[in-house]
Structure 1
Amino acid sequence: MESLKFNELAEKLIQYAIRAPSGHNSQPWKFQISENEIIIVPDLTKHLDVVDTSDKELYISIGCALKNLQVAASHFGYDSDYVYKDKKIFITLNKKEDNVTADDDTLFNAINKRHTHRGKFSGEKIPEEQLQRVENKKNSSMSDNAFKDELVEWMRFNKNHIQETQNGLCYNVLGFPPTPQFLGKKIIKMFLNPSGQNKTDDAVNASTSHFCLFTVKEPTIENYIELGTLLEEYLLKVTSSGLAYSFSNQPCEVLKIYETLKAELKVNDYPGVIIRLGYGKEPSNFSPREKPDIQIL
């Protein structure tokens, strides 16, 4: 494979990789392209000090980006393998001898449609095999000023703010009207409180059809990356099936509640991600992504 052609392919695949979900839409990844490998480099400048102190969610997000890249590679006729070493993910591609399967196309077509649902679900139960239910534990994160400060720092309050950053939690995706940045921060902090958040969570949970819990055997970087690949594949299947999902991760982010959740589940596995499933409306807006040329080193 000629170097230039490989570079073109790699850049195309990276465009799909960066469509992966991440905490606060922080997009904690960078990419390198060598002669025959694509390398994913964790961007630790996107570390979330409060809600992801161990970088668990950061590496899960990188696993999601990896899965998107693999799905896209398969769609364009390539098998892929990866290895994690030297704190990076090295991905090799090989031309496939057989044809792309319908399942590959189904997952590939879902990459640009996948989104995190905002707000309540329809309340209708999903007519499929019962998924494991978990109780969404109440938590005190909205009482934590550090939690609120970090959340607000990743919010984008108007079009100019979005264009400047191309990341974060955007006002139009969340269903808010645009405001000047200084005013938006004050308003959001006024409404971020335990009582208001619990009411919102209760309404969303009541409309949820199922909860799904993803766990790992051991809390290692390699396991979190693998969990991310499995999670993203699942989310793409959810999307292609016409279902909606949202994250309910605070029980996995707040240490005391995390330990309680682990104990009450009576399993040795470590909780990684909790998602809600249901039916929801198509979004009017999608979260922005930083341009690939910014993310390629």
Structure 2
Amino acid sequence: MKNLSRRQCLLGSGGVLVVAGVIGATAWNRNSGASAMADYDNYVATLRTALGPEAGLSNLIRYATLAANGHNTQPWRFQVRGNDVRLLPDFGRRTPIVDPDDHHLFVSLGCAAENLFVAARAAGRSCEVASEPDGSLRFQLGTGTVSRDPVFDVIAKRQSTRALYDGRPVPGRDLDALARAGTRPGVRLFLLTDRQQMDKVRELAIAGNNVQLADPAFVAELKSWLRFNPSAAMTSGDGLFAASTGNPVLPDWIGRRAFDLFFTARTENDKLARELESSAALAVFVGDAADPANWIEVGRACQRFLLTATWLGLKCAFINQPVEVARLRPELAALIGEPHKRPDLVVRFGYGPAMLYAPRRPVDTVLV
């Protein structure tokens, strides 16, 4: 959803309705909206309370759910048996249009797995992770010594920052740290700082955006995960909250109407171009194979990269159109020198503002 400019409201199709709605939304923001935003601030603070030195399993799982994930669908479930925790895919939270082979779903599981691993060790637990044939992960937790990874302290602070950055370059030592963080056995990371390469990725992203927004099914699926106001975000505990992307909070009926009127390929392409031009660099992740086990490993590498970036004072956001539109993947693969691989993720990063945190579901709703 785009911010509503005066010209769009007055001249767009259905503009009179939207103008009337914006007037009503202004009054709503002064009354119900302001109160709901205060409630949302308290809701976020509770979700992101720092872990104590001897955190129980419930709080470790809460930290796991703060991981990055596609469309903020949170496609995971947790099963606890004694000191064993199973992390299971939740196929009821699939996004079959944008993610038909569940690639993003398993990457999201990997991101949650990395958070859980880091948090468990910081809480003084030994942690062994094993993959199961059904695509789940088993964590065997025992008694150990406290191993506090520096990135543990920023798990609750990491966010996907969908905003303009300031374009400042990242120092070489920090790029080296990011390169180490985003590499795992079976996962390679390519950092693009050359503007010509970044411009080519921008062209691919815009091409992918045009394909996706021409598909009514894609647009409908995306719209189903939008949350236009804090009440809706807290009720669902998931989805893409307007305020988290710098957009105004609106009553649902106005937000949905505005989305239909103003969410276009032209406006989104302009936004993409500005976001990429403001970014310091891009990260492209590539796994050895295109299967769930490898996608989970990509997710673990990506989450550690995102946490390390946060620790270094950087902001990140996904630019995944070049990997979501299958016919564009070979061009991206050739650009990074991996012509026979499937690129998994594209992340832009740089120095930028803090945004409002996205919602999360309570722990008791993700337990089997």
Pair in the same fold by TM > 0.5: yes
Provide the C-alpha distance between the structure 1 equivalents of 2:301 and 2:267, rounded to a whole number of angstroms: 33
1:269 paired to 2:322:
no
| Superposed displacement of residue 117, structure 1 | 0.8
Q: CA separation of 1:100/1:264 partners in 2, compared to 1, >3 Å: closer, same or farther?
A: closer
What's the CA shift string for 1:157-185, capped at 9, x where partnerless? 11221122010000211222222212211
Higher helix share goes to which structure? 2
1:127 aligns with: 171
| Superposed displacement of residue 264, structure 1 | 4.1
Provide the C-alpha distance between the structure 1 equivalents of 2:316 and 2:336, rounded to a whole number of angstroms: 22
Query: In the alignment, residue 163 of structure 2 is paired with which amino acid?
Result: G
Provide the C-alpha distance between the structure 1 equivalents of 2:290 and 2:102, rounded to a whole number of angstroms: 11
Match of 1:79 among 126, 129, 149: 126
Provide the C-alpha distance between the structure 1 equivalents of 2:230 and 2:317, rounded to a whole number of angstroms: 24
Pairing 1:1-297 to 2, within 5 Å after superposition: 9-87=56-134, 88-97=136-145, 99-101=146-148, 104=149, 106-128=150-172, 131-133=191-193, 134=197, 135-136=201-202, 137=204, 138-139=206-207, 140=210, 141-267=212-338, 268-283=340-355, 285-297=356-368
Query: In the alignment, residue 160 of structure 2 is paired with which amino acid?
Result: T
| Superposed displacement of residue 96, structure 1 | 2.0
Q: Would the aligned equivalents of 2:161 and 2:245 in 1 still touch at CA under 8 Å?
A: no
Is there any run of 5+ residues in structure 2 with no aligned partner, and where?
1-54, 176-190
| Superposed displacement of residue 205, structure 1 | 0.8
| Secondary structure, aligned partner of 2:63 | helix
Q: Would the aligned equivalents of 1:148 and 1:192 in 2 still touch at CA under 8 Å?
A: no
Provide the C-alpha distance between the structure 2 equivalents of 1:209 and 1:196, rounded to a whole number of angstroms: 22
| Secondary structure, aligned partner of 1:39 | strand
| Superposed displacement of residue 149, structure 1 | 1.0
Aligned residues: 285
| Secondary structure, aligned partner of 2:79 | strand
Q: How much identity, in percent, do the aligned residues show?
A: 29
Give the alignment's Cα RMSD to 1 decimal. 1.6
Query: In the alignment, residue 227 of structure 2 is paired with which amino acid?
Result: R
Provide the C-alpha distance between the structure 1 equivalents of 2:265 and 2:314, rounded to a whole number of angstroms: 29
Provide the C-alpha distance between the structure 2 equivalents of 1:238 and 1:159, rounded to a whole number of angstroms: 28
Q: Would the aligned equivalents of 1:148 and 1:189 in 2 still touch at CA under 8 Å?
A: no
Provide the C-alpha distance between the structure 1 equivalents of 2:290 and 2:333, rounded to a whole number of angstroms: 13
Provide the C-alpha distance between the structure 2 equivalents of 1:189 and 1:121, rounded to a whole number of angstroms: 27
| Superposed displacement of residue 146, structure 1 | 1.6
Provide the C-alpha distance between the structure 2 equivalents of 1:117 and 1:163, rounded to a whole number of angstroms: 19
Bigger CA drift: 14-23 or 177-186? 177-186
| Superposed displacement of residue 36, structure 1 | 2.8
Provide the C-alpha distance between the structure 1 equivalents of 2:215 and 2:329, rounded to a whole number of angstroms: 16
Bigger CA drift: 177-186 or 63-72? 177-186
| Secondary structure, aligned partner of 1:261 | helix
| Secondary structure, aligned partner of 1:68 | helix
Q: Would the aligned equivalents of 1:40 and 1:90 in 2 still touch at CA under 8 Å?
A: yes
Q: Would the aligned equivalents of 1:208 and 1:277 in 2 still touch at CA under 8 Å?
A: yes
Query: In the alignment, residue 299 of structure 2 is paired with which amino acid?
Result: G
| Secondary structure, aligned partner of 2:172 | coil
The alignment's TM-score, normalised by the length of structure 1, stands at 0.91
